């Protein structure tokens, strides 16, 4: 009686969910980002983070970095589905390379006075966050690092008067001399 | 005008479109005019290389182009206007994407300066069609048009074929620019479909095939799409290995139904022997099929003890639903050719006599049997007679969607590829009639029959008028059970026989309707009249609406209930109330 709602994923319930970072090189043409995002929403895949920017402007190549979650079979599907899109040159699973460096940047706004301000500055220093704006009752910190570090920083700031956070999402690159 | 007359490649966007069609060898296009494509229609008017078939609804144009494509192997071409013209094309585009049919659809768009302004008959065509095309383009500069059109033809017909849309604003159609004939550099560098299979993988596959004791070949639409050579090689492979072969709905005809190794179609309404062979095999060779849920049934009980080889041109088909052991990415004909060569050089055909004996036992269950009736026409009987009476003729079959489609697949034997056009992936009612129009345009002297249902046929009935206009003698053979039979069957089996809105109330009188259209109406109500009526339908060189009155409540068996395994099939002889209730218990949520 307790059958799943679709015959497709019966097997998958038992498989572990993994997080993967994918780098996708695409032809930078109108609609390409819509195609990528449409693929994820249309097929029910998750996007944890997505960043995009042109990286080689003579060749009109953009690099999209996507952090996604799914079972190994779904992750494999996502890569194939991306790869078969016409404007996609290459898809690299950064997580599988084992040598991926991942960074994001966050700007964190805090409001407060007295002890909280002092504590916030002290923590910021420990996290190598920079003050990029200050008033007598607020700070904006800039912090870069991997997502876990940023999450941790934001958690610590919360009781100290956190107002808002703006994050860039993850960019990733592989260590060593080779490009993708 | 004066300076453009020197350079023959200087022309308007509209002229480029017609020129590109000619350069790609297009002889027929299906379309419907409107404000945003007037310049293109003006160009069409002034030439005679490309024949335009005027449909009655853009959906009809799309399905006609699909039928044309499937029966010829060439891309089907559609021309429609902006806004409603484009949105009416969405169903055929989605249909063609699912079934990998090459279509090139040119849509008109409002002038570039009005895009985004909610202009009259504006819609975001590339946005709407993005998920139902292989690729699409909005052309904003007339000097990009030639390149995009050539790329569109290439993308539609190469790799895994599919539909593409080229959206051309009206000002771009009017503007003058430079045309160039097709050339290699027109294609995205990022698009490189892989045709040749990996030699190492092919060796592994051969080793598996040679060691098999209970092998089965499961082929699909990819073999048909790959072209006649793929079907020839598939037949040779069956001959060389002696293996049993089954096929999906889309793949029928690649191996002949009269072939001695043929198990019949597999899947939800496939034969018992095909599904049992899939379930019990030790080596499965999947060629150009995609382990769709209609085929696999319950995935965690799908062919549990087999090693699986999967040949597919689309890497995303591999390991999507079913994990396979030896994936081979490449074109079916290419890979089958290499595989055969290695097999013949290095392998010996394994002895599988005991396996064939097992197959024979399953065959003996006679899973397609039905109780004969001398008073009312049973739908299965009608298809059997239609098949018998058209045997040896140059026949093409299209279908609508429903029970009649499954009976056609079960009881009409296909000997050749490209002879069977049906909406498999999307299951689009209303596909068959316009598809028949398209097939008949491509094959004017062949016998083209749409095996239809009473409900489906009303969805695109207006295209009878197209058939009359172009003197296309298509035969619409309606298995009229006065129900949306397939839905009624599910209601009976899964919803306590509460037949909610599935009775075809207020059906038109199809014979009178034929008269109104100006075609021939024929009705058969008794088994004894059937042969004569079919003969009359075949003999008359005009379009026919054939109202074949069949038993209303016949169910389509055998059947694997959704979410069940291949060895949990319900056979017609065993489908009493109790067995049916048990088989379908709990499956309501599945589709
Ligand atoms: C456009 C569309 N709408 C709805 C359906 C769902 N559907 C599948 S079969 C069917 C009934 C078809 O009835 P009919 O054409 O009379 O064929 P029969 O099953 O009776 O042979 C319906 C409504 C569909 N497949 N396509
Ligand atoms: Mg019906």
State residue A6's pLDDT score.
39
Query: Which pLDDT value is given to residue A4?
Result: 39
Q: Ligand 1 pocket check: which of B62, B428, B434, B456 to mutate, most ligand atoms within 8 Å of Cβ?
A: B456
Q: What is the DSSP letter of A47?
A: -
pLDDT tens-digit readout, A147-165: 999 999 999 999 999 999 9
Query: Is A89 touching B (CB cutoff 8 A)?
Result: yes
Q: Supply the pLDDT for residue A58.
A: 84
Q: Indicate if the pLDDT at residue B1 is higher than 90.
A: no
Note the ipTM here: 0.89
Between residues A58 and B9, which one has the greater pLDDT?
B9
Mean pLDDT of chain B: 96
Phi, psi of B89 (to 5 degrees): -85, -10
Query: What is the pLDDT at residue B579?
Result: 80
Is residue B401 predicted with pLDDT exceeding 80?
yes
Pocket flag, ligand 1, residue B483 (CB < 6 Å): yes
Q: Cα(B308)–Cα(B412) distance, rounded to whole angstroms?
A: 29
Residue B591: per-residue pLDDT: 74
Alpha helices, DSSP H only, in B211-317? 221-226, 228-241, 272-280, 293-296
- Is the pLDDT reported for residue A10 higher than 50? no
DSSP B4: G
Query: What confidence score (pLDDT) does residue B3 get?
Result: 54
Which residues of chain B lie closer than 8 angstroms to A63, CB-CB?
A: none
Element housing B547 (H / E): strand B544-549
Share of chain B above pLDDT 90, in %: 92
- Residue percentage of chain B with pLDDT more than 70: 99
Q: What is the mean pLDDT of residues B5-24?
A: 94
* Res A9 pLDDT > 80: no
CB contact under 8 A, B300 and A10: yes
**Using a CB-CB distance cutoff of 8 angstroms, which residues of chain B are in contact with residue A11?**
299-300
pLDDT at residue B423 tops 60: yes
Mean pLDDT of B197-225: 98
From the list B188, B297, B323, which residue is nearest A86 (CB)?
A: B188
Residue B232: what pLDDT?
98
Candidate list B11, B30, B43, B58, residue with the active-site label: B58
Nearest to B316 among A34, A38, A77 (CB): A77
pLDDT of residue A2: 40
Residues in chain A: 180
What is the reported pLDDT for B578? 79
Taking the CA atoms of residue A48, residue A54, residue A59 and residue A63 in that order, the dihedral angle to the nearest 10 degrees is: -20
- Model pLDDT, residue B582: 79
Q: Tell me, yes or no, if B510 is annotated catalytic.
A: no
CB proximity A136 to B under 8 Å: no
CB B516 within 8 A of CB B447: no
Among protein residues, the one with the nearest Cα to ligand 1's atom 4 is B429
Q: What is the pLDDT of residues B496-530, one digit of tens each?
A: 999 999 999 999 999 999 999 999 999 999 999 99
Is some CB atom of chain B closer than 8 A to the CB atom of A34?
yes
What is the per-residue pLDDT across A108-156, written as a single tens digit (0 to 9) for each? 999 999 999 999 999 999 999 999 999 999 999 999 999 999 999 999 9
Residue B418 near residue B442, CB atoms below 8 Å: no
How sure is the predictor about B309, in pLDDT bands with cuts at 50, 70 and 90? very high
B21-44 residue pLDDT tens: 999 999 999 999 999 999 999 999
Contact B161, B225 (CB under 8 A): yes
Percent of chain A beyond pLDDT 90? 88
pLDDT digits (tens, 9 = 90+) for B229-285: 999 999 999 999 999 999 999 999 999 999 999 999 999 999 999 999 999 999 999
Asked if A38 is an interface residue toward chain B (Cβ–Cβ < 8 A), one would say yes
Is the predicted pLDDT of residue A5 greater than 50, yes or no? no
**What does the pLDDT read at residue B4?**
52
Average pLDDT over residues B439-445: 98
pLDDT of residue B561: 86
Mean pLDDT of B362-390: 97
C-alpha B404 to ligand 1 mean position (Å): 10
* C-alpha dihedral (B404, B405, B407, B410), degrees to nearest 10: 170
Element (H, E) at A167: strand A162-167
Res. A56 pLDDT band, cuts 50 70 90:
confident
Query: In what helix (H) or strand (E) does residue B477 lie, and over which residues does it extend?
Result: strand B475-480
Euclidean distance between CA atoms B574 and B297, whole angstroms:
20
Quick one: pLDDT band at residue A11, thresholds 50, 70, 90? very low
Any idea what DSSP says for residue B322?
Answer: S
Mean per-residue pLDDT, B147-157: 98
CB contact under 8 A, A7 and B590: yes
Cα torsion B176, B177, B179, B183: sign: negative
B58 classed as catalytic: yes
| Cis ω before B558 (30° cut-off from 0) | yes
Q: What is the mean pLDDT of residues B413-434?
A: 98
B34 in contact with ligand 1, CB cutoff 6 A:
no
CA B294 to chain centre: 15
Is the pLDDT assigned to residue B577 strictly greater than 80? Answer: no
Lowest mean pLDDT among A9-13, B535-539, B579-583: A9-13
HSE-CB at B199 with a 13 A cutoff on CA atoms is: 2
**Across B236-323, where does the E strand assignment appear?**
245-247, 262-265, 283-287, 307-312
The whole model's pTM is what? 0.95
């Amino acid at each position: 009686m307790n059958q799943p709602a679709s015959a497709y994923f019966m097997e998958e319930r038992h498989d572990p969910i993994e997080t993967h970072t994918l780098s996708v090189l695409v032809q930078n043409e109108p609609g390409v980002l819509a195609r990528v995002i449409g693929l994820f929403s249309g097929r029910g895949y998750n996007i944890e983070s997505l960043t995009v920017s042109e990286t080689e402007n003579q060749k009109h190549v953009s690099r999209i970095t996507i952090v996604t979650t799914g079972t190994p079979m779904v992750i494999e599907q996502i890569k194939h589905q991306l790869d078969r899109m016409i404007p996609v040159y290459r898809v690299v699973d950064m997580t599988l390379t084992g040598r991926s460096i991942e960074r994001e940047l966050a700007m964190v706004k805090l409001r407060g006075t007295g002890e909280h301000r002092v504590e916030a500055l002290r923590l910021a220093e420990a996290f190598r966050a920079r003050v990029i704006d200050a008033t007598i009752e607020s700070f904006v910190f800039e912090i870069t690092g991997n997502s876990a570090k940023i999450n941790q920083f934001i958690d610590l700031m919360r009781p100290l008067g956190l107002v808002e956070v703006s994050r860039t999402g993850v960019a990733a690159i592989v260590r060593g001399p080779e490009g993708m | 005008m004066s300076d453009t007359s020197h350079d023959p490649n200087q022309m308007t966007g509209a002229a480029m479109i017609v020129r590109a069609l000619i350069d790609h060898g297009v002889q027929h296009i299906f379309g419907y005019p409107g404000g945003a494509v007037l310049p293109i229609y003006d160009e069409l008017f002034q030439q005679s290389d490309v024949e335009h078939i005027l449909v009655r609804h853009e959906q009809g144009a799309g399905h006609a182009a699909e039928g044309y494509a499937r029966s010829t192997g060439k891309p089907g071409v559609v021309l429609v206007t902006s806004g409603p013209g484009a949105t009416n094309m969405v169903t055929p585009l989605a249909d063609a994407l699912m079934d990998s049919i090459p279509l090139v659809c040119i849509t008109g768009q409002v002038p570039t300066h009005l895009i985004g302004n909610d202009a009259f008959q504006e819609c975001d065509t590339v946005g709407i069609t993005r998920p139902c095309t292989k690729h699409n383009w909005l052309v904003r500069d007339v000097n990009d048009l030639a390149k995009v059109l050539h790329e569109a033809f290439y993308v539609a017909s190469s790799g895994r074929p599919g539909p593409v849309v080229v959206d051309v604003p009206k000002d771009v159609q009017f503007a003058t620019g430079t045309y160039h004939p097709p050339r290699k550099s027109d294609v995205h560098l990022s698009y490189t479909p892989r045709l040749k299979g990996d030699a190492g993988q092919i060796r592994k596959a051969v080793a598996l095939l040679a060691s098999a004791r209970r092998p089965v070949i499961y082929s699909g639409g990819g073999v048909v799409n790959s072209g006649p050579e793929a079907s020839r090689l598939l037949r040779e492979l069956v001959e060389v290995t002696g293996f049993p072969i089954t096929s999906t709905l889309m793949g029928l005809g690649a191996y002949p139904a009269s072939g001695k190794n043929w198990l019949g179609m597999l899947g939800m309404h496939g034969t018992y022997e095909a599904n049992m062979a899939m379930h019990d095999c030790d080596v499965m060779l999947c060629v150009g099929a995609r382990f769709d849920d209609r085929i696999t049934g319950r995935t965690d009980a799908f062919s549990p003890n087999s090693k699986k080889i999967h040949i597919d041109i689309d890497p995303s088909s591999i390991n999507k639903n079913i994990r396979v052991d030896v994936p081979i990415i490449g074109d079916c004909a290419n890979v089958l050719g290499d595989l055969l060569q290695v097999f013949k050089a290095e392998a010996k055909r394994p002895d599988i006599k005991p396996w064939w004996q097992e197959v024979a036992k399953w065959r003996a269950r006679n899973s397609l049997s039905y109780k004969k009736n001398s008073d009312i026409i049973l739908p299965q009987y009608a298809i059997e007679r239609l098949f018998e009476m058209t045997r040896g003729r140059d026949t093409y079959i299209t279908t609508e969607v429903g029970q009649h489609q499954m009976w056609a697949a079960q009881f009409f034997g296909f000997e050749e590829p490209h002879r069977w056009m049906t909406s498999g992936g999307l299951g689009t009612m209303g596909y068959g009639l316009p598809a028949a129009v398209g097939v008949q345009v491509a094959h004017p002297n062949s016998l083209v029959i749409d095996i239809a249902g009473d409900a489906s046929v009303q969805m695109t009935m207006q295209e009878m008028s197209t058939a009359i206009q172009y003197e296309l003698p298509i035969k619409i053979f309606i298995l009229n059970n006065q129900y949306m039979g397939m839905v009624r069957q599910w209601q009976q089996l899964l919803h306590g026989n509460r037949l909610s809105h599935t009775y075809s109330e207020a059906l038109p009188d199809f014979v009178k309707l034929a008269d109104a259209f100006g075609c021939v109406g024929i009705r058969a109500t008794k088994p004894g009249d059937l042969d004569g009526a079919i003969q009359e339908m075949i003999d008359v060189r005009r379009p026919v609406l054939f109202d074949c009155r069949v038993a209303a409540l016949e169910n389509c068996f055998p059947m694997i209930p959704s979410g069940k395994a291949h060895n949990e099939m319900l056979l017609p002889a065993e489908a009493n109330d109790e067995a049916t209730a048990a088989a379908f218990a709990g499956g309501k949520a599945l589709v």
